[in-house]
Amino acid sequence: MKDKDLHDKLKDLTVRYLELLRRSTSQRGVGVPQRLIPKVEFGLNGSITIDKESKPDFGLLAATTLLDFVNDPSNEVIIKAVLENQNVARLLKDKGVARVPMAFALNILQPMIIRQLVSQNGIEMDEAEFDANYQAFEEYLDKEEDCYLFLAPLENFDMETESEIVGPLTIRKLTAEEFAAFNGITAEPFSSAPNFPFQPYRFVLEMKGAVKRGGPPLTQTYQDSFWWLVAMMKLTKAGSVGYNTIWVQPLSWSGMSFGQGSAYPRHTILGKSVTLKDQDLSRLRHYWELVEPFVGRQTPFWMVALQRFYDAVDRVRPDEALLDYWIACESLFGEDIEIGELTYRLSLRIAHFLGVSPVERAKLRDDAKKAYHARGHLLHGARNLDHSKLAAQTLAIGEITRRSLCKCVEGQFQSRDEMIRGIEASIMG
């Protein structure tokens, strides 16, 4: 250890705290408080059985006596001495709190006590466990950063393997405890796995990150990493997959877990789930390697199209999806086209960008024109639309958009002008 004096003072406080807990539980005639948690078991046929079990609530136990401990005059001298330690003072300053007893108790002492209770699984002091916990505390002081685990449960998603690594993120199956927590399953009577209106979460995106101590955990770059990977999932395999919340769990000494999500969450569409197989995962990893340079940095010229596509595949109404897809295509191929020739020129560019044979190009051009006319009917309030035709046109322009964006990712075009020049050269023969 680097600071034996700090070690000894924190050990003294820990011993005193545990003694207070023993007296408190003895006087009240109760033991360590327990909490009921759901116990989920998965059957071979995909069935889910929910039971409940009791676990010690060491966090609640430590919190109930914190104020009494800090206000006890017999602890005042030791707490004051700890506050004068240079490293402790710097830690509290980095966290943006005053160097006062209660700030020390909340940010250092209470997390240390909870770790001690959990590691020794009870109130009786285990010196070896304290030494290990103190060593972790000293390492935390040296790093001057906070580490977090970010978790985003995936809706409408499945894959053949239990876990896959894609860049800095891991896609993995939820543990039984996580399955209960993310799907809102409790130990209350009648609690069950939700099956309506959405499928339960089964997989999660996971990433570890570090920020300067005291800074906001979920930086824009970390948020972008999740968004970009899910966007590449949507390009890799047609379907509706997504997440609404990124959960933040502290991995370093202190901090609180919380979820950060959109103010207007939108769920994925049942019946359009995405299942990634081995070949899909290889493609996903390839796409990630190509787009990772954009994460947290300057976005590519096809970003508007990708954002519109990202939203469109989760639209319930085909008319809304078609408008999104068309805006995506127009942002890719129609920026320099006059309104009068938009439908002709844009459909021609799409055909030569994606098609190889004359027959394929004619089909692409026809699908794009139909989608453009449908877009006009929708924008001008046309009635008595043929909904089966609209659904087919939406599906066709959706696939055109997906293929176009895949080619943008793989083509590594430096600008829209470069891409359009290549298309125009193909048109001119």
Tell me the C-alpha distance between 412 and 301, whole Å.
11
Residues 382 and 261 in one domain: no
Beta strands 203-212 and 163-166: pairing type?
unpaired
- pLDDT band for 379, please (50, 70, 90 cuts): confident
Tell me the C-alpha distance between 187 and 141, whole Å.
38
Residues 306 and 427 in one domain: yes
pLDDT tens-place string over residues 226-241:
999 999 999 999 999 9
Residue 200 is predicted with a pLDDT of 85
Residues 289 and 156 in one domain: yes
Residue 253 is predicted with a pLDDT of 80
- 216 in a domain, yes or no? yes
Residue 191 is predicted with a pLDDT of 57
Instruction: Output the pTM of the full model.
Output: 0.89
pLDDT tens-place string over residues 383-397:
677 788 889 999 999
Q: Which of 297, 316, 331 is the last residue of a domain?
A: 297
Closest CA to 269 of 310, 323, 231, 314: 314
Residue 189 is predicted with a pLDDT of 65
Residue 416 is predicted with a pLDDT of 92
Residues 310 and 288 in one domain: no
- 164 in a domain, yes or no? yes
The pLDDT of 133-158, averaged and rounded, is 93
212's CB contacts (< 8 A; 6+ apart) are 144, 145, 146
Residues 99 and 134 in one domain: yes
- 53 in a domain, yes or no? yes
- 314 in a domain, yes or no? yes
Residue 306 is predicted with a pLDDT of 97
- pLDDT band for 252, please (50, 70, 90 cuts): confident
Residues 183 and 291 in one domain: yes
Q: Which of 87, 122, 143 is the last residue of a domain?
A: 143
The Cα-based distances of 196 to 51, 155, 199, 200, 204 in angstroms read: 20, 13, 7, 9, 20
Q: H or E stretch including 238?
A: none
Burial (CB count within 10 angstroms: exposed 0-12, middle 13-18, buried 19+), residue 47: exposed
The pLDDT of 1-23, averaged and rounded, is 94
391's CB contacts (< 8 A; 6+ apart) are 318
pLDDT tens-place string over residues 292-348:
999 988 899 999 999 999 999 999 899 999 999 999 999 999 876 665 566 788 899
Residue 27 is predicted with a pLDDT of 78
The pLDDT of 154-164, averaged and rounded, is 93
pLDDT tens-place string over residues 167-220:
999 999 999 889 988 888 877 765 555 554 567 899 999 999 999 988 889 999
The tokens 């439908």 sit on which residue?
343
Average pLDDT, the chain: 89
Higher pLDDT pick, 153 / 380: 153
Domain of residue 58: give its range: 4-39+49-143
- pLDDT band for 122, please (50, 70, 90 cuts): very high
Residue 374 is predicted with a pLDDT of 85
- 391 in a domain, yes or no? yes
Residues 149 and 265 in one domain: yes
- The 3-state DSSP class for residue 237 equals coil
- 124 in a domain, yes or no? yes
Residue 266 pLDDT greater than 90, yes or no: no
Residue 198 is predicted with a pLDDT of 62
Residues 257 and 379 in one domain: no
- 44 in a domain, yes or no? no
Tell me the C-alpha distance between 69 and 394, whole Å.
65
Tell me the C-alpha distance between 310 and 229, whole Å.
11
Residue 224 pLDDT greater than 50, yes or no: yes
Residue 419 pLDDT greater than 80, yes or no: yes
Residues 131 and 170 in one domain: no
Beta bridge partners of 154: 203
Question: What's the number of domains the chain is made of?
Answer: 3
Residues 175 and 243 in one domain: yes
Residue 71 pLDDT greater than 70, yes or no: yes
Residue 43 is predicted with a pLDDT of 77
Which amino acid, 123? Answer: I
- 372 in a domain, yes or no? yes
Residues 255 and 394 in one domain: no
Q: Which of 279, 297, 315 is the last residue of a domain?
A: 297
| Proportion of the chain above pLDDT 90, given as a percent | 66
Residue 425 is predicted with a pLDDT of 92
- pLDDT band for 42, please (50, 70, 90 cuts): confident
User: Residue 59 corresponds to which tokens in the numbers above?
Assistant: 């966090």
Residues 185 and 75 in one domain: no
Residue 196 is predicted with a pLDDT of 44
- pLDDT band for 276, please (50, 70, 90 cuts): very high
Among 249-263, 288-302, 395-409, the minimum mean pLDDT is found in 249-263
Higher pLDDT pick, 208 / 160: 208
